Amino acid sequence: MNDLIDLHTHTIACGHAYNTLYEMVKSAVEHHIALFGSSDHGPAIPGSCQEIYFANFKVIPRQLFGIRLLMGCELNIIDYEGHVDLKEITQSRLDYGIASLHVPCCTPGSITDNTNAYLGVMKNPYVQIIGHPDDSRYPVDYDALVAAAAEHHKLLEVNSSSLHPQSPRKGAKEHYLEMLSLCIRYNTPIIIGSDAHCVADVGNHRRAIELLEEIHFPQQLIINTHVEKLIPYIPALSDWLPNSCTSPT
C-alpha cells in the first residue's frame, strides 16, 4: 500500500514527547512521507502547549527538507457536547484539527455520553479528523459514529499506536474491526495516524496497515494513499501538488 501521509504526531513542546519539530520532519523524509503534520496536544492535557503556541504557527515554514508541513492540533474534547480546549479564533488559524477523547480532559461516560461528545465535535468546522475512536474506556455507538462522520465529512482515524500491545487504549483492534466494517457500509473514509511521540515512530503505520490488509479494507477509502485525497478536507493543499505526492498508476 502506498503510505504517504502522517498527520498525527507530537513534539517535545507537548510535554511528553521526545523530539523537536525539525527532528520529526527530518524523520518523515527518511521514512518517505510526502505530507507531514504536527499535532501537539491542546492545553487541557497536563504539561502541554498553551494557546499562544498554536496562535504563532505563522512563523513556521510550510515546506521543510523538501516535504510539505502542516501545523495542527490534537484538540481535547472536554465535555459530552463536543467542546474543545482552544478558542475558536485559534482553531481557525490551524491547518487542521484532530479531536480526541483523553481521560485527563473528559471523564469517560456512558455510551450515549461518549457518542454525543463525538457527534458534537463533528459539527466543528475546524475539526477534520476524529482521533483514536478506539478506547474501551470510552465505549461508543459505532454505527452512529461512522454514519455521522460520513454526514459531516470527517475522517475517522485508525491509530497505529493504539494497536501497540502496551497501549493504554485497550480493545482497539476489536473496536476497529467493528468501525471499519461500518466504514465500508457507509462509504466513510479513514486516515491512518502514527501518533508518534519520537522520531522512531514517524510514519510507523505497520500495525494499522496489517489490520486493514487482514480485512481487505478498500484502498479507495484510505486517505494515506494519495495526498490529493485530503484536498476535500484541507483545501489549502490544492495550492501544493508536487508530482512526488501522487501515487503511481
pLDDT tens, position by position, 136-174: 999 999 999 999 999 999 999 999 999 999 999 999 999
Alpha carbons within 13 A on the beta-carbon side of 244: 10
- Partners of 84 in beta bridges: 77
pLDDT tens digits, residue range 218-233? 999 999 999 999 999 9
pLDDT given at position 241: 63
CA distance 106 to 110: 12
In the predicted structure, residue 248 carries a pLDDT above the cut 70:
no
pLDDT in tens, 185-225: 999 999 999 999 999 999 999 999 999 999 999 999 999 99
Other Cβ atoms within 10 Å of 193 Cβ, number: 28
CB 100 within 8 A of CB 124: no
Contact 75, 97 (CB under 8 A): yes
How would you classify the pairing of strands 129-130 and 155-159? parallel
To the question of pTM greater than 0.85 for the whole model, the response is yes
Any idea which residue has 472536554 for its cell?
78
Q: Is 242's pLDDT higher than 70?
A: no
Rg (CA), the chain: 16
Weakest mean pLDDT among 106-115, 139-148, 230-239: 230-239
**What SS3 class is residue 109?**
coil
Predicted confidence at residue 235, as pLDDT, reads 84
Q: In which element (H, E) is residue 27 found?
A: helix 21-30
1 Cβ contact partners less than 8 Å away, ≥ 6 residues apart:
209, 212, 213, 219, 222, 224, 225
Q: What is the pLDDT of residue 239?
A: 78
CA distance 77 to 55: 19
Does position 238 have pLDDT exceeding 90, yes or no?
no
Per-residue pLDDT for 244 more than 90?
Answer: no
Write out the three cell numbers for 182: 461500518
Higher confidence at residue 242 or residue 102?
102
- What pLDDT digit, counting tens, does each position of 9-49 carry? 999 999 999 999 999 999 999 999 999 999 999 999 999 99
User: Nearest-CA neighbor of 73 among 97, 103, 45, 50?
Assistant: 97
